[in-house]
Amino acid sequence: MGDELKKMYRTVMDDHFPSEMRISFGDQTLTYRKRSWKIPDSSGQLIEKGLRYGENPGQEAALYELVNGNLEIGGCRFIAPESGMVSAISEADMIQSGKHPGKTNLTDVDNALNIMKYLISGPAAVIVKHNNPCGVAYGATLVDAYQKADRADRIAAFGGCALFNRPMDRATAERVSENYLEVVAAPDFEEGSVDVLAKRANLRILRVPRMDRLSEYAHQRFVDFKGLIDGGIIVQQSPLNRIQSAQDFTPAASQLNGKTYSVERRPTEEEFADMLFGWQVEQGVTSNSVIYVKNGVTVGIGTGEQDRVGVAEIAIYKAYTKYADAVCFERHGVSYKELELMAEKGEKDRELIEKIDQETREAKGGLIGAAMVSDAFFPFRDGVDVAIRQGIRAIVQPGGSLRDFEVIEACNEARPQVTMVFTGQRAFKH
C-alpha cells in the first residue's frame, strides 16, 4: 500500500476539462482559457499538461486564466483579464518547474499573495502550508524577514510555500535552501540566487508576473465561486479590507443601559503597527481564527476552530510549542521532539529540556507584549481573558457583540492595562 501511495503522488493525471470556459453574468460573458505548461518529466520527455492533479491524487483539476471580459455588477468593477498573476504564470516564469504543479501549490501561492498585497512597507516573507499562513514577518532585509517567518513555525513550514515581496537575493536563497519547501515565489531572482535554490531538484521556483502591482489588488474584488455538493454554486464578491492604515481603527467603545464603556489606554505607535500588521495577515487565515503578532512577526496562529476561546487557547499553545522548538533548534541543532526522544534514550541530559521549558514559560511563548487579532467579535470575555493572562498588551477585533462592554472591562481591569481597537468589519474566510 505504501508503494502504491507513493506512485499516486508521482502520477501526472490527464484532465478532461475543456480548453475554454465561458461564464455569463446576464448579458456579460467572461472567457477563460485552460492553462498548460510544457515541462520535462523525470526521463527528460517534454510533457504538456495543466495541473498535476487537484487537492488529492485521483482528482482531476484544471487552471483557467481569464482572457476576455470586464465584469461590472452593481457599480463594482471586478479584476480585469490583464491583471492576471497566478493564472498567468508561464513556462518562462517557472524558472525551475520541478514537476507540474498541483492545485495546492498554486492556491498556496495565491493565498500568500492575498496576504502580501497589504505588506508593502518593507521586505516581507509569507510562508503558507495547506492554504494557511504558518509564518509571516517583516524584516530589515529579505533574509531577515524569511528567518523570522521560518522561526515562527519552523516545523509547519516544512514542505510549504514561501513568497517574498522583493527580488530573491543570494543571501536569502542560501538561507531558504537550508529548508525543504515545495514552492519559492518572488517578483524576480537576482544573479546567483537560482543556482543556489536549484540544488533542490524538485523545488518549484516561480517568478510571479505583475507582482510589482500587487498592492493594487488590495482595492479590487474578484468573483469567488463555491461549489456545493448538489452541483449548485454560490457566487460572491471577494472581501475588501477597510483597514488601510492605523487611522482606520476605532477605539473600543460600547453602550449598555445608557452607560458608555470605553477602553482607557490608547495604543502606542508600536502597538498600532502590530495591530495593523496582524489584521492584514488575518485576511488570509481560515476562520474561526485568532492570531498573535509581535514586532511585525506572527507568534501564534490558530485556525479553523468552532469556538473563539478554543482557538485563542490553541494559538497560545502553538506559540509555546513553536517558541520552545525554535530555541531548541537554535541551541542544539535538533527539534524539540527530537531532543525529547534523545533524552528518553539517555543520549542527552534531561536538564536541557527542562531549561528550554523554563525559558519558554518565563517568556510565555513570546506572547508578552504581543497583539491579539480576532477575525470576529468575542461573544464572551473568556477569549480575551486567556490571552491577557499570557501578557498580551493590545487587541484588534471587529466589535459588535452584545458583550463588548465585558471585553472592554477585561482590558481596563488588566494590569498592566490592555488596549483595544475595533475594525467595524468581520474577516471570515472559509
Q: What is the pLDDT of residues 134-155, one digit of tens each?
A: 999 999 999 999 999 999 999 9
Query: How far is C-alpha 178 from the geometric centre of its chain's CA atoms?
Result: 21
Closest-CA residue to 144 (of 269, 273, 285, 296): 296
Decide if pLDDT at 2 tops 70.
no
User: Contact, 288 vs 315, CB < 8 A?
Assistant: no
Written as nine digits, the cell of 65 is 486564466
Decide if pLDDT at 344 tops 80.
yes
Residue of higher predicted confidence among 5 and 413: 413
Decide if pLDDT at 22 tops 60.
yes
Other Cβ atoms closer than 10 A to 150 = 25
Distance CA 190, CA 305 (A): 41
pLDDT band at 190 (very low <50, low <70, confident <90, very high): very high
Q: What is the pLDDT of residues 7-20, one digit of tens each?
A: 555 566 688 999 99
List of residues 6+ apart from 355 with CB closer than 8 A: none
Residue 416 pLDDT: 96
pTM over 0.85: yes
Phi and psi (nearest 5°) for 196? -70, -50
**Strand 160-164 relative to strand 132-138, pairing:** unpaired
Distance CA 169, CA 172 (A): 6
3-state secondary structure of 268: coil
List of residues 6+ apart from 262 with CB closer than 8 A: 251, 252, 253, 408
